[in-house]
Chains A and B, each alone.
Chain A
Amino acid sequence: MTMPVRTAQYGFAERWLPRLVLAPSFVLTLVFLYGFIVWNGYLSFTTSRMLPNYEWAGLAQYITLFDNERWWVAVRNLVIFAVLFIGGAMGIGVVLAILLDQKIRFEGAIRTIYLYPMALSFIVTGTAWKWILNPGLGIEKLMHDWGFTQFTFDWLVNSEMSIYTVVLAGLWQSSGFVMALFLAGLRGVDDSIIKAAQIDGASLPRIYWKIVLPALRPVVFSTLMVLSHIAIKSFDLIMALTGGGPGYSSDLPATFMYSMAFTRGQMGVGAASAMMMLMAVAAIVVPYLYSELRKDGNG
């Protein structure tokens, strides 16, 4: 007679245990991610300055944002950075991966060396490159000490060029990661396909360009996704390397948002700029997710 009771208990635990286990992270995500997105969205329509307030201001903060020259510098910098960083990291990563795929010796050691920068945080990368690029400490001083006194390399303190130092450090950090992704993809390509193409008379660059890389389309797409979101949310690298300077010449939207919201008492403008970044990310991610999910549904 106890059997039905025990079954019921077991069924209760079985039904509720997974939900109980998932509940805390679900609640945390709901509140701290989506909740704060909504809150931030609301703040962007208020007159908030030093502290949040809830006085409705309509689109006033967005108008202020779009009139702000510093915002447009940040946006222009993001375009420069994103194009050069994503393109450069892909290019360097693919070339390194192809070179490493030629069954060379010490491949393991070389792979680790290239991948190692990824193990450092952007803060460390930024600080290291700040010293390397500092005219008084790094490359320029080294060349002067060696006697090349005409040599100048002052990108870090040149407001025209400072964004390119960020590109440089970003490439150094991420190219090895791209290489690792592509190397894994290349290893998945059947060896005999390359042999067949060799017998067909194709040169090595042609084999990779026409046959191997097209077969790696999924790797290209996931790498693009990873790199573009790194580019858009880039914050720590700028803070450590240039601090957004000289002046605000190397600001990115993320650093712009931070200084508006937390140091300059312009919380409404900061919130508005954060919403613009969210939309930029959504513009990339949503179509990607849509195509991926639709593919799963069909397959």
Chain B
Amino acid sequence: MGALAIKNVTKTFGDTQILKGINIDIESGEFLILVGPSGCGKSTLMNIIAGLESPTTGEVCIADRAVTNVAPKDRDIAMVFQSYALYPTMTVRQNIAFGLETRGIAKAEQNEIIARVAKMLQMDHLLERKPAALSGGQRQRVAMGRALARNPKLFLFDEPLSNLDAKLRVEMRVEIKQLHQRLKTTIVYVTHDQIEAMTLGDKIAVMKDGVIQQFGRPQDIYENPANLFVASFIGSPSMNFIPCHLIEHDGELGVSLQGMASPYFISLAGRPNLRARLGEKITLGIRPEQLDVAEAQSSALECKVKITEPTGPDTMVYTEVNGVEVIARVHPRLVPPTGQSIKLVLDMKKVVLFDPVTESRI
């Protein structure tokens, strides 16, 4: 059953087009992430799903029902906001009860629901407090409780973790994921944080300038980015982009990489659609963990270690290839001292190629 379908939705404010034809389809129980830099239109899209704004053209369906012209309260959704949006003069209990009351649920049933939600989120002891007397994490919990109490078809989370400190953010992230697995609800989650997107989502829609750049499973997006933007946005540290010329060497197509020693040729034989680009510029994309320290005897790309950043399990080695900074993620035991040379090999199966002009994948 389709939980949420967005069909050709556009949104225009005055002369600026915020959304340029959005299409998304998710199944019931899926966790959809809308991710992108600020100004990409993800919050506008969220508001359109919630019914707080109406699309200029296009259609929104929730649970196989067209709701484009249905008021927010009749869409059977619940929303968690970045600022929590708790009602400041009401206690936690009243905050949760408010939505139930407006829907005419009997007092006894209200209390039952509140007790269930409070138990689920471990906030029984907070019920009689006002929002001002709660910490950021507790407020977040209450906001989620308020959403859960209604048991809607669709949950909307609008950057819910952005106001929390780093440690709490990780904890709440896990908690949201557990909650989703336990309740099997459909969730749409807006964030600008690619780590949240990767860790939480069943499906990710990467947005930029009002267009979905790529829509798919997190691992697919990570391994097969559709264009330069997606490749650079997803993953931390970011993918390395090395400018190269496509050349022919001993009858094989490939590129030449210049570290600190002589140029190192890598073959791109077997990749389709390359022959026509012989002699042109291409961008070679490789993630830091796809660069590894070479075995002593093999031929490899020799570069100079400029900076090392130990993170514990791995060390980030900053070097320079073809005049741009390249980061390699290597085992701490294999890192030479700063200023010395390091021999790197590339995991050629994972390397992706981009057209430097159109920025799309080759």
**Which chain A residues have a beta carbon within 8 Å of chain B's beta carbons?**
190, 192-193, 195-202, 206, 210-211, 214-215, 217
* Complex contact A197–B52 (CB within 8 A): no
* Complex contact A202–B98 (CB within 8 A): yes
Within 8 A of A (CB), among B57-81: 71-73, 77-79, 81
What is the chain B residue whose CB lies nearest that of A203?
B102
Q: How far is the CA of A223 from the CA of B128 in the complex (A)?
A: 30
Q: How far is the CA of A217 from the CA of B81 in the complex (A)?
A: 24
Q: Take A198-B72, A199-B73, A199-B77 as given contacts and tell me if A192 and B98 are in contact as well, using a CB distance cutoff of 8 Å.
A: no
The 4 closest A-B pairs by CB, nearest first: A200-B99, A201-B73, A214-B89, A192-B85
Q: Take A200-B98, A200-B102, A202-B102 as given contacts and tell me if A195 and B79 are in contact as well, using a CB distance cutoff of 8 Å.
A: yes
* Complex contact B102–A201 (CB within 8 A): yes
Return chain A residues, CB-CB under 8 Å to B82. 192
* Complex contact B98–A195 (CB within 8 A): no
Return chain A residues, CB-CB under 8 Å to B150. 200
* Complex contact A190–B73 (CB within 8 A): no
Could you list some 25 contacts between A and B, CB below 8 A? A190-B85, A192-B81, A193-B88, A195-B50, A195-B52, A195-B72, A195-B79, A195-B81, A196-B146, A197-B87, A198-B72, A199-B50, A199-B52, A199-B72, A199-B78, A199-B79, A200-B146, A201-B99, A201-B102, A201-B103, A206-B102, A210-B87, A210-B98, A211-B87, A211-B90
Return chain A residues, CB-CB under 8 Å to B86. 193
Return chain A residues, CB-CB under 8 Å to B88. 193, 215
Return chain A residues, CB-CB under 8 Å to B90. 211
Q: How far is the CA of A198 from the CA of B102 in the complex (A)?
A: 10
Q: How far is the CA of A214 from the CA of B130 in the complex (A)?
A: 13
Q: How far is the CA of A201 from the CA of B79 in the complex (A)?
A: 12
Return chain B residues, CB-CB under 8 Å to A192. 81-83, 85, 158
* Complex contact B87–A193 (CB within 8 A): yes
Q: How far is the CA of A120 from the CA of B72 in the complex (A)?
A: 45
Return chain A residues, CB-CB under 8 Å to B103. 201
Q: Take A201-B103, A202-B102, A206-B102 as given contacts and tell me if A196 and B79 are in contact as well, using a CB distance cutoff of 8 Å.
A: yes
What is the chain A residue whose CB lies nearest that of B52?
A195
* Complex contact B85–A198 (CB within 8 A): no
**Which chain B residues have a beta carbon within 8 Å of chain A's beta carbons?**
50, 52, 71-73, 77-79, 81-83, 85-90, 98-99, 102-103, 146, 150, 158
What is the chain B residue whose CB lies nearest that of A216?
B89
What is the chain B residue whose CB lies nearest that of A215?
B88
Return chain B residues, CB-CB under 8 Å to A201. 73, 99, 102-103
Return chain A residues, CB-CB under 8 Å to B85. 190, 192-193, 195-196
* Complex contact B83–A200 (CB within 8 A): no
Give the shortest distance, in Å, between B87 (CB) and chain A (any CB).
5
Return chain A residues, CB-CB under 8 Å to B78. 199
Return chain A residues, CB-CB under 8 Å to B98. 197, 200, 202, 210-211
Q: A199-B77, A211-B90 are in contact. List 18 more A-B contacts (CB 8 A).
A: A193-B85, A195-B81, A195-B85, A196-B85, A198-B71, A199-B50, A199-B78, A200-B73, A200-B146, A201-B102, A202-B73, A202-B102, A206-B102, A210-B87, A210-B98, A211-B87, A211-B98, A215-B88
Give the shortest distance, in Å, between B182 (CB) and chain A (any CB).
23
Q: How far is the CA of A78 from the CA of B326 in the complex (A)?
A: 81
Return chain A residues, CB-CB under 8 Å to B99. 199-201
Q: How far is the CA of A23 from the CA of B49 in the complex (A)?
A: 64
* Complex contact A211–B89 (CB within 8 A): yes
Q: How far is the CA of A192 from the CA of B71 in the complex (A)?
A: 16
Q: Take A199-B73, A211-B89, A215-B89 as given contacts and tell me if A190 and B83 are in contact as well, using a CB distance cutoff of 8 Å.
A: yes
Give the shortest distance, in Å, between B268 (CB) and chain A (any CB).
50
What is the chain A residue whose CB lies nearest that of B71?
A198
Return chain B residues, CB-CB under 8 Å to A202. 73, 98, 102
Return chain B residues, CB-CB under 8 Å to A217. 89
Give the shortest distance, in Å, between A116 (CB) and chain B (any CB).
30
Q: How far is the CA of A2 from the CA of B200 in the complex (A)?
A: 72
Give the shortest distance, in Å, between B152 (CB) and chain A (any CB).
9
Return chain B residues, CB-CB under 8 Å to A211. 87, 89-90, 98
Give the shortest distance, in Å, between A15 (CB) and chain B (any CB).
42
Return chain B residues, CB-CB under 8 Å to A200. 73, 98-99, 102, 146, 150
What is the chain B residue whose CB lies nearest that of A217?
B89
Q: How far is the CA of A199 from the CA of B80 in the complex (A)?
A: 10
Give the shortest distance, in Å, between A171 (CB) and chain B (any CB).
28
